[in-house]
Amino acid sequence: MKKILVVLIALIFVLPLAACQTSAANSSNTSDIKRNANSWNKVIKDLEVVTTDNTGNDRGLIARSMKELNGANQSVIQGTVYNLSKLNNPNNAAYTKATIVVDKVINGKKSLKGKKITLVLNGGVTTTNRWYKDQNQTREAEHDILVQYSQAPLPKIGSKIIVGISPIEKKEPTTYMQTIKQNKLARSTTYDLNMPAFNYWIKNSDDKDYHLNNPQADARLKANPKMAKDIKNLTDELNQKYNK
């Protein structure tokens, strides 16, 4: 009986303390996210926006079911965009470092929950000289620009995302890998975002549901009604299970 009382007393003190610590962590994250958003908005506020239809770094299988999504990725996560940062981009490239807080591991490496990971996203801040290098194109004098990929726009800081990820592996010396190496991004915390055009779901603060982060997805899938239906069903399933 005494042992039971000791356990109950311990729980009375420990549980509220744990709840307070969780609340404090969430509050800290919210404050950091607001500060990060303000800083990023100052960086891009006055930049010329250049939109490109290039597919960018679009890797992996287009998953059309949860089984395929889980099978095509080491992990499938639900996370919060904690920060966006400029990268030193090579010629003809534009990438952004996205820091993501993993809120939930839907499938895969459970130890990622609560951790901050890095994704290198298509689009970002570069210069006219670098972006238009060797294109023999008349352009304005050298200045910073913000490149946006029409099929994978940069997310807003604070947005919620659902994505499949895999570890960075040694690959051919692509511009993407060159960017990772040039910016000395740690491979232990940097992950590939697989198939961003069709397997990257986002929910902004004014959205009710998760949706593909590709404004052109419907147009591209028009020629393949079966794939369009499958991806819609997968999106609906993700919303039913994880949009809470």
Looking at residue 23, what is its pLDDT? Answer: 46
User: Closest by alpha carbon to 165, among 27, 94, 70, 232?
Assistant: 70
Q: Per-residue pLDDT tens for 92-103?
A: 999 999 999 999
Q: Is the pLDDT of residue 4 over 80?
A: no
Handedness of CA 63, 67, 69, 72 (dihedral sign): negative
Q: Is the pLDDT of residue 25 over 90?
A: no
- Span 217-238, mean pLDDT? 96
**Band of residue 209 on the pLDDT scale cut at 50, 70, 90:** very high
Q: Per-residue pLDDT tens for 66-107?
A: 999 999 999 999 999 999 999 999 999 999 999 999 999 999
Domain ranges in the chain are 31-242
Span of 52-56, 74-78, 193-197, 235-239 with lowest mean pLDDT: 52-56
Q: At 100, phi and psi to the nearest 5? A: -115, 130
Mean pLDDT, all residues of the chain? 88
**Separation between Cα atoms, residue 50 and residue 32, nearest integer Å:** 29
Q: Does residue 151 sit in helix, strand or coil?
A: coil
Return the exposure string of 125-137: e unless at least 16 CB atoms fall within 10 Å of the residue's CB, then b: bbebebbbeeeee
**Separation between Cα atoms, residue 191 and residue 102, nearest integer Å:** 12
The answer to whether 197 touches 58, Cβ cutoff 8 Å, is: yes
Per-residue HEC secondary structure of 14-50 comes to HHHHHHHHHHHHHHHHHHHHHHHHHHHHHHHCCCEEE
Query: Which of the pair, 22 or 90, is modelled with greater confidence?
Result: 90
List residues bridging with 104 in a β-sheet: 78
**Band of residue 54 on the pLDDT scale cut at 50, 70, 90:** confident
**Separation between Cα atoms, residue 212 and residue 186, nearest integer Å:** 28
**Separation between Cα atoms, residue 16 and residue 134, nearest integer Å:** 62
| DSSP letter (8 states) at residue 141 | S
